[in-house]
Structure 1
């Protein structure tokens, strides 16, 4: 299906371009969201008549997103979650959780603007990309820890999931021979 884009869409095209997309993508996303119109003579004339209004609205949205990006860009947020001794979270931190954390700090960001390919499932420092506008993207840092004290230690660069941090063991001194005997299987075979 051919559509006329009403705004810039990443990996698809600029405002006003006529592009060919799959029917389902157009019917289920572009048309209902108001991001495109079907490409026919009537809609082309309608787009040309409303072009100045659409460009002004797009510029306004971009400037608002840029203001938020200037304040939010590079900030770090602490997320406290329950986790096991190895640093594996009992749950996960998903895009919805990131949006809720930002809302608690006073930033209005929707979960569809959070670019998190996979949920965060381990404690540590994680970078998350936010797409505030089709032309404005920023990165924030999430410090996922078991407590605020742990988050502070993590922010200073301390590793909390290594064997040394958890058990007081020097990982460099560990050798496989310390845990199993490589000759144990041979002894059993010789006895048989």
Structure 2
């Protein structure tokens, strides 16, 4: 589906650009959140008339995001969880959990603004990127521990130079658990490539069938003449 971006969208483009996205991504995320419009002539005219206002609104939101960013730039949220002796959590810490912890600290954010490749499943102190605006992001820390005492010990160790925990890469299971809008956000180029390969394969198959049909027709004709 072709859409006109009403603001900068990471991995898609800048305000005013027309891009091709998966229909589900447009219907479930971009359109209802007013981040884009369907690319029609009427909407193109509408965008041009509203562009100055949209840019002013975006600039205002950016300023508000920068203000929030300054407040949480050095924030460390503590999330207490039960875990085994080796530190493996009985459960996990998700983007939603981190968003709730940050909101409780006084700055409201949503889970969509929390960027983690997959849920945290081991105690430790982790760097977490928070996207407050398409052009504003900050990094906070999530201190996952079994008790307040352990959280303090981990924080002290990090302050003394211990590296932060490394976020493990996303797995196939984590991809399936992502919101549908995230799974549907496939690059248009990838979809176009797949469609192109399918068309090419069909054309190749048709090309192979034609010589066989021609040979069969000749054989039938020869049999008829012999008869």
What TM-score do you get using the length of structure 2 for normalisation? 0.67
In the TM superposition, structure 1's runs of 4+ consecutive aligned residues that sit over 4 Å from their partners are none
1:20 offset after TM fit, Å?
2.1
Which structure shows the bigger proportion of residues in helix conformation? 2
Question: Which digits, 9 at most, give the CA deviation of each residue in 1:105-162, with x for residues without a partner?
Answer: 111011111112211111111111111111111111111111111111111218xxxx
Matched, 1:19 2:15: no
Matched, 1:127 2:140: no
Task: Provide the residue aligned with 1:107 in structure 2.
Answer: 107
Matches for 1:44-63 after TM superposition, within 5 Å: 44-63=44-63
Count of paired positions:
158
CA–CA distance in structure 1, aligned partners of residues 93 and 23 of structure 2 = 33
Task: Provide the residue aligned with 1:98 in structure 2.
Answer: 98
CA–CA distance in structure 1, aligned partners of residues 38 and 137 of structure 2 = 28
CA–CA distance in structure 2, aligned partners of residues 80 and 22 of structure 1 = 39
Task: Provide the residue aligned with 1:188 in structure 2.
Answer: none
What secondary structure is seen at the aligned counterpart in 2 of 1:156?
helix
Query: Gapped runs of 5+ residues in structure 1?
Result: 159-192
Matched, 1:79 2:79: yes
Query: Gapped runs of 5+ residues in structure 2?
Result: 159-227
1:22 offset after TM fit, Å?
2.6
Task: Provide the residue aligned with 2:142 in structure 1.
Answer: 142
CA–CA distance in structure 1, aligned partners of residues 103 and 75 of structure 2 = 14
CA–CA distance in structure 2, aligned partners of residues 87 and 121 of structure 1 = 9
Task: Provide the residue aligned with 2:168 in structure 1.
Answer: none
1:25 offset after TM fit, Å?
2.2
